[in-house]
Structure 1
Amino acid sequence: MRKWKSLAKKSIVSAASVVLIASCLGAAPIYASESNSEVPAVVEQNTPSVVAIIGKPTSDTNKSWEKNRYNLAHGTGVIVESDGVIVTNAHVVKDMKNIVVVTSNGTTYNGRATNIDEESDLALVKIDATNLHAATFGSSSDIEVGETVAAIGTPISFALRNSVTVGIVSGIDRSVNSQYQLIQTDAAINPGNSGGALINMKGEVIGINTMKYADVGVENLGFAIPVDTVKYVLNHFKLYGKVKRPYLGVELEESWEAVVGLPSSTGLRVAYVDPDSPAAEAGIKQDDLLLSVGGTSVKTMVDYNEALKKYLPNDSVEIKLQSGAESVSKTITLGEAQSSETASIDDEEGSDIDADRGKTKIGDSHYGWSMKYPSGLVKGQQSEEGDKVSFADAKGEFYLSIEVESNLSDELSPSALLNKLDGSDTQDYGASTTILERQYVKQDKAPYGKIVGRSGDNGYVQTRGYLHNGKLYTVKLYVAKEQYNNSFKQNSFNDLLDSFQLSFDSKDEALKDISVYSEDGATHTNEYGLSLDLPSGWEESSYKGGTSFYNDDYSQNVNVTVTSASSGETLKAWVERESKNFENEYVADYRKIEHPEALTLAGVPALKVAYSQTYGDDEWDAGYSLYFIKDKYKYEIDFTYPGDEDQDEVSKTLGELTSSIKVDKNLMDKELGFIQDIHELMDPDRTVTYKNDKYKYSLHVPETWTIGDAYDDKDEARKNFYFNGGNLTIQADTKESYEDLVKEEDASQKKNHDNDSEYTYSDSEVTLPSGEQAKKYVVHYSYDKKPYQETVYIFHHNHISYTATLHISDAVRTDENEARLNKAFDSIKFQDK
């Protein structure tokens, strides 16, 4: 399998890793050029311009991994200005915080990412320094295939910074996993080389190393960003603070030949047109072929992006297209592509690469415990509430866990405590444990239960349990057998356990607080890059149609639905369609909907629609729907609540929700494709055929209805067809006659009316469209103050009696809904006809 690898690998920097890496390094390929006297001189000239960059990687999925002080990422940079401006790859510093830059002479500086452009994979880092050795840049037009080049960088380990490899330029104008052309080289480029310099034998930087090709049997296939692209990006950074890219508003698709690397004579197919874009305004349509931009022929995406580099937003450009059999030219004023602003990230605990420097103790301020903090102790998993946390030694010598269980009695006897610890120990490690020691240790400050056990042949577990203020603190240490039998190690392990205290001194600056307990809400991020803040106590539901959350009494709900924007879709048209669907679903007296309100969400135009509906019982269900389109996806966020809810509280929750909404395309699932909005395709009048082979009938029901059994009827005698606010039920009976069913229904209807005069009904003899004679009852009543109409038909065919019930709430009894219900029943046919 082919693998394109960016080279900012997250490396664990330790003495052990350096030894391991050094032992694995083989001899490098020998080039004739290596004996050339030019190489040492050129390297000596350029090495002062190359720096090593190291920092703490961030993680969206594992914050404990992010906090591990031994997990560090590194890359390389090139000094472009003597006052501390450094160019590197965007992927090196994008998710890196607490950046540290080390120059070739070993001087260390704190750095910050000032500009990041992911499309070109270039970024700037600034350090506070002067009189640095700035690199000399060459020109892409002077690069020749076959010329000797050297790559300088920090491969594999930070201890190998300013390593040099030599090779040749293997190719130019390469199109590989990049928006722009790349240089191919066989100079060895390895993880960590990202952002380093590719230099020619004139001592000029001709590229910034960016990626390598990795596969079994493949060697020395690396790529660099050409110097002209670097200059283009740096110039934009200097002038505008970002790369100002023109925006046409189309998504393009390459031909088969272009995809596989064959010369292509076909232009780029327009696969999608953004709504309200320059392309849409110019009349460019899906399936048009884009032939040229400003006179430059474009047959690949790289061609297209290289052509656009010549223009700025608001520039006019001539676009040539083939639309059907016709060739057309259009002069279009370009818009500006949106780019995400990325700021330098520092750890919440400071800008030092080791935020734990000076911390000799660790603990939890909320649960009130602390202990010694050896330099090799690395925090692992921690529960959301912070009541469970695990640690591991950086060298893998031991594993430690601390768990706090609340709502226990401090009156638990020593024997009961030991029994509890013994049981939990066996559960946790999942194997029969041979007990080597068990005792209740009495001491003035905090007596505890202690159990030492052998778990199989692999190691030893020591468990200590402390009762304090209604909580049980369970501390467990797992040690491998070879470590446990080392008396020196065993003493250090016991010293760590003995340091555990049921107190937390907030004034102790040497004490690191790992508490994560919070009464605030949580931030939720989904697969579509959408993040939003939810109130404290809200939980996620198992609703499958989207992402849904609810409060503690289920009265308030937030539901998120994400679909793709079809080519040419607009926000206005989408919201008008949704509002029309709502209006068509409810009778006017039972619904309210306000005119859409314009606002901005996730940095793009959005619309907010307030609505409410009732079934007639004076209880209204209310809500707000938020709509916006970004990065080809439509985001709908529905917030629902009872209509009588305190409006100040509703406004507060809605305000917090809307202000927190963000979309980051980098957080989108990489496998996301086109997600059809089925509401665009839905036809409420389109029907499907239902057949009941056992009871010999069929009918056509709207495909938007839900078909299901009312009860557990395996013989299909009773069948239900549901829609919002109503249903059609057909009951087949082979035992009771038509006459008996009519008598029973007559009696039931009369009884209901006699018991409640508001229960009104009428009956008549009718002929069904299928030709059967039937008794028809039409009922009007309010159940729980919710008025409805119910029509009952009793008829028979071939010794089978049928009862059909058409139920519809007055709230949804629009002409359209009632017509669909009646039409579905009228479509009934019998299979022997």
Structure 2
Amino acid sequence: MKTTKRWGTKVIKAATAAVLLVTLTGPTVVFADSAAAGNGANASVIQKTTSSVVAIIGRPGDGKKVESRYQLAHGTGVIVRSEGYILTNAHVVKDMHNITVVTSDGKSYAGRTTHYDEESDLALVKIEASGLTPATFASPSDIQVGEPVMAIGTPLSFALRNSVTSGIVSGMERSVQSSYNLIQTDAAINPGNSGGALVNMKGQVIGINTLKFVEQGVDSLGFAIPVDTVQHVLDHFFKYGKVRRPYLGLELSESWEAVVGIPSGSGLEVTYVEADSPAAKAGVKKGDIVQSIGQASVHTLVGYNEALKKYLPEEKVNLALQSGGQSKTVEVVLGEVKSADVKLVQDAAGSYIDSDQGKTRIGDSHYGWSMKYPAGLIQMNRFGDKGTVTFQDAKEEYAISINVEEDQSKELSPYALLRKLDGKSQTVLEKRYVEDGTQPYAKLVGKTKGDYYYQARAFHKGDKVYYLTLVVQNETNYQNNAKRSLYEDLLDTFTLSFDAGDKTLKDISSYQDKNTIATEYGLSFDIPADWEDGYGEGLSYYHEESGVDFAVRISSASSGDTVKAWAARDEESFKASYVEDYRQVEAPVETTVDGVPALEQKFAYTMGDEWEHARVLYILKDKYKYELQFNYAEGKDGAETAQKTIDSLIASVHFPKNGMNASIGFIQDENELLKDSDTVTVTNEKYGYSIIVPEAWNSFDPEDLEDYYSAYSSLMARSRSFYFNGGSIKLSADENGSLSDTVGAIEAEHKKNHEIDADYVYTLTDEPLLGLTVKKFALQYVSSDIPYTLNQYVFEKNGIVYTMEVRVNDAVKTDALWQRIGQVVGSVTFQDPK
């Protein structure tokens, strides 16, 4: 599998760093000149340049819990101003905490990210320093393919900062997972090199190292951001505080030739035009071909972005187009890309890069245990909320694990607790119950397969059993009295208590009261831990206690569609689905979700019993529509509690940058295709009838059960049901019954109900229908506060007795629906049964 990797946020752990230092040292590369002359020239260049290159280290903040003080991320930076401004890759410092910058002379400074641009993958870090040596940048026009270059950075380990590799410029104007052109080089670029300098033999920076190509059998394929892009971004950083990008409002597609890298004269096809965008106002339409921007011809998306670098928002630019086979030029007043709010990490003054500074104990607040925390102890694994965690010391001499078993008996004898350790060891060296005041425990010492020395302790408290396990791989270490005493002393510090007020105690609990759902659609949100997956398709969730459910629906926006038009269509559909007295609609309100403009609308409806409420958020972002719907009933914990729950869910919604899976294409909004006039004909050959129903109605076919319930399926196959919101139509056939018996059975049921409730009043009449005279039972009734209409038609055709039952709640019995039901009832036709 081939991939490209951005090298910069290199996470290292003490347990593996030494191995990296020993095994990953590469050979020295020299130029084609004599070794002596080449090395002398190299040394001169490095002496001139290396003082402008710094190493950057900090704690990763990618949303994952930091396991130990040894879990750090590092990269490289280039000094661009003497007063302490350092340029690096955006992905190096993204969410990085406690940034520390180390200059080439070994001085350390606390750093903070001041400017950040993910599109170009560049950022600025500021340190409080003066008199630094800024890098000298090459002229973009002087860079040539084949010229020798050197990469300076911090590969693999922070101990290797300001390392130098050499090579040549392998290519220019490359496009590899970047919005802009990149420089290709064969100089070695490895994890941690990101943000470092790619310099020429004059000691000038020609690019900022950013990524490399990774595939089995592929070497020396690295990439750097060229100096023209670097200077463009730096200019915007210092002038505007951010990169101001022109906005046209177009979605473009490259030609086949451009995709595979063949030189092409074809332009870019317009596949989507955002409503009210600068391009839309200029008359650009879907299907047009963009040939050039100003004087620059564009054939690739990277070329398109490079052309727009020359312009600022609000400037005018001419677009040369092919439209409908005709050439034309339109003038566009450029808008500005709305950059997402970047929350730069600003750590409190005096905070340490060592996340465990001052922590001498470690524990779990949820499960209620704690123990001594040696500086060399590294948390290796955590298994969710299962109460299992493993530690290893930095020298890899021993490992300790804590495992909690819940739902155990609250009464365990010493014998029962000792039995809990059975099967833990192949060779038992010691096994006993230790009376230790308020904290007795069962103890087992032994050897396992592979000669691992093993000590396990089992503690009991409440309905939990706590297992504390020590594993020592090297027999010499375990038999060393001093080391064994150290291990025993550490195990003896384990206690079944957690003091939340102890500032020296580090809490490693992974118990969470919510789960973050990161979707493939560029959308994430938090769901409380006690919620369940809903029964609907896709992203749906439900909370039994509060009665609130949440569903997300994603689809593609049609060209020219707007949030207001989309919401208006939904409102019209909702109003058409309910009789006026049974529905409520509030006017849509403009709002934002994670900084993205949205419309929120509230609906309510009832079938006559309790009111059901819905809050719907309509969001249109990057040509996709996000519909977030929250439903709740008043009868649970009350509307106020439900609203607070929904507000919390909305507040958790996030649109992460580059969160959309690149493989996701056009997703049809099925509601846009749905028409009331669309119907489907359902035929039952066995019972000789066909019926025409709306395509949107749900149908239940008993034959679907045949593989599972063959006997039941055979019985149910006599009927076919069609469901719509608030009602249904059921058509049944009986080849063995008689008309009089069927009518009699139905009437007996109605009479029985009337005897129970005098308000249950039905009528029985003869009616013309389907060219026949049919028996019609009609009923208007209220059941569980829900008023409904029931019509039953019984008739005979070709020796088969048919019963058609129509039931519809008054809440949805609009004139349009009642007319549609009449059309369905009257659509039945008959054939000879088979």
TM-score, with normalisation over the residues of structure 1? 0.91
Distance 2:518 2:222 in 1: 35
- 1:217-616 alignment to 2 at 5 Å? 217-345=217-345, 351-365=351-365, 367-382=367-382, 387-404=387-404, 411-419=411-419, 421-422=420-421, 437-452=430-445, 456-457=449-450, 459=452, 461-468=454-461, 471-480=464-473, 482=475, 486-487=479-480, 490-506=484-500, 508-515=502-509, 524-533=517-526, 538-616=530-608
Matched residue, 1:675:
667
Quickly say closer, same or farther: Cα 1:14–1:414, change in 2 above 3 A: closer
User: Which of 44, 49, 60 is matched with 1:46 structurally?
Assistant: 49
Alpha-carbon separation, structure 2, partners of 1:543 and 1:313 = 47
Distance verdict in 2 for CA 1:668–1:497, change over 3 Å: farther
Distance 1:584 1:398, change over 3 A: farther
Residue by residue over 1:510-545, the C-alpha shift from the partner in whole angstroms, topping out at 9 and shown as x without a partner, is: 332334557x666554333334455x6641324342
Q: Counterpart of 2:141 in 1: which secondary structure?
A: helix
CA distance in 2 between counterparts of 1:641 and 1:177 reads 44
Cα contact 2:341–2:595 (8 A) shared by 1 = no
Find out whether 1:749 has 2:742 as its counterpart.
Answer: no
Judge conservation of contact 2:762–2:778 (CA < 8 Å) in 1. Answer: yes
Q: Is the 8 A contact 2:20 2:156 kept in 1?
A: no
Size of the aligned set, in residue pairs, is 819
AA aligned opposite 1:636:
E
Q: How does 1:64-79 map to 2 (within 5 A)?
A: 66-79=66-79
Cα distance change, pair 372–333 in 1 and its aligned pair in 2 (3 A): same
Paired amino acid for 2:745: E
CA contact (8 A) 2:29 2:166 kept: no
Deviates more, 1:573-582 or 1:703-712: 703-712
1:92 equivalent in structure 2: 92
1:624 aligns with 2:623: no
286-295 or 570-579: which moved more?
286-295
Paired AA for residue 138 in structure 2: G
Per mean C-alpha deviation after superposition, the further-off stretch among 225-234 and 814-823 is 814-823
Matched, 1:720 2:721: yes
**1:479: how far off?**
4.5
Q: Answer with 772-781 or 199-208: which moved more.
A: 772-781
Spell out, residue by residue over 1:7-62, the C-alpha distance to the aligned partner (whole angstroms, 9 max, x if none): 125242538534444334342444215643432211110010011112222344x4
Cα 1:381/1:719, change in 2 over 3 Å: farther
**C-alpha distance in 2 between matches for 1:469 and 1:171:** 68
Cα contact 2:546–2:642 (8 A) shared by 1: no
Deviation at 1:380, TM superposition (A): 4.1
In the alignment, which residue of structure 2 is the partner of 1:704? 696
State the AA in 1 paired with 2:322. Answer: Q
Match of 2:786 in 1: 786
Structure 1 residue 456: Cα displacement? 4.8
Whether 1:829 aligns to 2:829 is: yes
Match of 2:732 in 1: 731
| Corresponding residue of 1:691 | 683
Can you list the C-alpha shifts for 1:661-704, whole angstroms capped at 9, x where unaligned?
Answer: 33223334444333222212222331223232332333222222
8 Å CA contact retained: 1:546, 1:562: no
Paired amino acid for 1:623: A
Offset at 1:301? 0.8
Question: RMSD of the alignment, in Å?
Answer: 2.9
User: Where does residue 156 of structure 2 map in the other structure?
Assistant: 156
Partner of 2:378, secondary structure, is strand
Instruction: Note closer, same or farther for the CA distance 1:384–1:7 as it changes in structure 2 (3 Å cut).
Output: closer
Contact 1:612–1:643 (CA under 8 A) maintained in structure 2: no
What is residue 141 of structure 1 aligned with on the other side? 141
Distance 2:436 2:297 in 1: 84
* Aligned-partner Cα distance in 1 for 2:67–2:346: 12
Query: Aligned partners of 1:455 and 1:347: how far apart in 2?
Result: 46
Please show how residues 152-231 of structure 1 align to structure 2 within 5 Å. Answer: 152-231=152-231
Q: In the alignment, is the contact (CA less than 8 A) between 2:20 and 2:157 conserved in 1?
A: no
CA distance change for structure 1 residues 492 and 772 in 2, over 3 Å: closer, same or farther? farther
The superposition leaves residues 248-304 of structure 1 with CA deviations (integer Å, 9 ceiling, x where unpaired) of 111110001111111111110011122332222333221111111123211111111
Aligned residues of 1:522 and 1:533 also touching (Cα < 8 A): yes
Task: Decide whether aligned partners of structure 1 residues 341 and 736 sit closer, same or farther in structure 2, where only a CA change above 3 A counts.
Answer: same
Per-residue CA deviations over 1:177-232 (Å, capped at 9, x if unaligned) read: 21111222222222222111111222211111112223333322222111111010
After superposition, the Cα gap between the structure-2 partners of 1:555 and 1:24, relative to the gap in structure 1 and judged at 3 Å, is closer
Distance 1:139 1:588, change over 3 A: same
C-alpha displacement at 1:386, in angstroms?
Answer: 8.0
Question: How far apart are 1:313 and its partner, in Å?
Answer: 1.4
User: Structure 1: any 5+ residue segments left out of the alignment?
Assistant: none
Letter in 2 for 1:474: Y
Deviates more, 1:474-483 or 1:797-806: 474-483
CA deviations over 1:118-140 (Å, ceiling 9, x no partner) = 11111111112111111111211
Alpha-carbon distance in structure 2 between the residues aligned to 1:118 and 1:468: 51
Moved more, 690-699 or 309-318: 690-699
Query: Is the Cα–Cα contact under 8 Å of residues 798 and 832 in structure 2 kept in the other structure?
Result: no
For the residues of structure 2 that align with 1:137 and 1:44, how far apart are their CA atoms?
16
| Contact 1:460-1:484 at 8 Å conserved across structures | no
1:283–1:643 distance in 2 versus 1, CA, 3 Å: farther
Contact preservation (8 Å) 1:540, 1:547 = no
Per the TM alignment, residue 651 of structure 1 is displaced from its structure 2 partner at its CA by: 4.3
SS of residue paired to 1:821: helix
Q: Which residue of 1 aligns with 2:59?
A: 56
Further displaced range: 243-252 or 28-37:
28-37
Distance verdict in 2 for CA 1:549–1:218, change over 3 Å = closer
Letter in 1 for 2:10: K
Q: Distance in 1 between matches of 2:41 and 2:311?
A: 39
TM-score, normalised by the number of residues in structure 2:
0.91
**CA-to-partner distance for each residue in 1:360-414, whole Å, 9 max, x for gaps?**
3212345442212123322244466684444344455544333445676765321
Residues 10, 75 of structure 2: 8 Å contact kept: no
Matched residue, 1:23: 23
CA separation of 1:471 and 1:672: change in aligned 2, threshold 3 A: same
Q: Per the alignment, do residues 459 and 686 of structure 1 end up closer, same or farther by CA in structure 2, a change over 3 Å counting? A: farther
Where 2:195 maps in the other structure, the secondary structure is: coil
Counterpart of 2:726, as a letter, is G
Report the Cα offset of residue 113 of structure 1: 1.7
Could you list the per-position Cα deviations for residues 76-103 of structure 1 after superposition, in whole angstroms to 9, with x for gaps in the alignment? Answer: 1111011111111112111432222211
What percentage of aligned pairs have identical amino acids?
50
Q: Confirm or deny: 8 A CA contact 1:155 1:193 kept in the other structure.
A: yes
Check whether the contact 1:115–1:342 (CA below 8 A) recurs between aligned residues: no
